[in-house]
Amino acid sequence: MTVGEALRASNIDRREARLLLAAATGFSEGSVLAHPERQLDAETESRFLEMSARRAAGEPVAYILGHKEFYGLELAVNPAVLIPRPETELLVDLALDRNPASVLDVGTGSGAIALAIKRHRPKARVVATDASAAALEVARRNATRYSLDVELRHGRWFEPVAGERFEAIISNPPYVVVDDPHLAALPYEPRLALLGGADGLDAFRVLAREAPAHLLPGGWLLMEHGAGQQDAVRALLEAAGLETTASWPDLAGIPRVSGGKL
């Protein structure tokens, strides 16, 4: 089979097919595009057809490839972690704007947010927690790959940072509502990283209530949330005594991050 025949046989999105074929062959996407006549050996052909069958069955490309780009980092991912989303880069931007000397990322997953912050603020002390040991394994691999000195700690919420305070606390917690139809489109990602309880706000209740005890005076709590959750999240921040609360839109114009200051 040639490259062109393999792409046609795959029956998935063309761009994704090129990406998977590039991974299967080791050629660049451009080279795959430029040489449809190139002959694939049997092993490469079956590797590609297996990958494209997984994609056709709905598995995310990032899990098939085993990595995903986020904030200029090529991060390892597997089904133990949420696949980093482009809109989450807003959370990194907002944290970097504040130049915190110390940062806590609660529920770090692949380590995406914590590693991006550490990369751009190498002098900051960055601590990242996760309730999932399997997720922390992925974060550790990513930290090692980029030689980024982020302290990874295992435990729920603030348990691993008892008695410690930070200049910024960042989180992209689970916030999808259990009966959200959108959830059906995400069967491959960990429920622990997605489900925010009956109204989607369970994680924000815990984070808002417990963050003030872990913030230094003037420190910010910044959290990603779902479309339409900004008013409820800001009400929780205000009830927790945080000030100058605000919400910021993602690139699609949807309020995506809300925060407040101690």
Q: Which of 70, 166, 175, 220 binds ligand GLN (CB under 6 A)?
A: 175
Q: Is the dihedral of CA 216, 223, 201, 132 positive or negative?
A: negative
- The DSSP H or E segment spanning 74 is strand 73-76
Residues 6+ apart with CB under 8 A from 24: 44, 47, 48, 51
Binding flag, residue 70, ligand GLN (CB under 6 A):
no
Cα distances (Å, whole numbers) of residue 56 to 10, 11, 12, 17, 53? 8, 7, 6, 10, 5
The nearer residue to ligand GLN, 23 or 117, going by C-beta atoms, is 117
CA dihedral 182, 184, 185, 187 (to 10 degrees): 130
Total of residues contacting ligand GLN (CB under 6 A):
9
Binding flag, residue 194, ligand GLN (CB under 6 A):
yes
The nearer residue to ligand GLN, 63 or 175, going by C-beta atoms, is 175
Stretch that binds ligand GLN, among 2-10, 29-37, 39-47, 168-176 (CB under 6 A): 168-176
Q: How far is the CB of 192 from ligand GLN (least distance, A)?
A: 10
Two tokens at 41?
């050996």
Q: Which of 47, 85, 121, 145 binds ligand GLN (CB under 6 A)?
A: 85
User: How far is it, in rounded angstroms, from Cα 169 to Cα 207?
Assistant: 9
The nearer residue to ligand GLN, 88 or 245, going by C-beta atoms, is 88
The nearer residue to ligand GLN, 14 or 182, going by C-beta atoms, is 182
Q: Which of 174, 219, 255, 259 binds ligand GLN (CB under 6 A)?
A: 174
User: How far is it, in rounded angstroms, from Cα 172 to Cα 201?
Assistant: 12
Residue ranges that bind ligand GLN, judged by CB under 6 A: 82, 85, 172-176, 186, 194
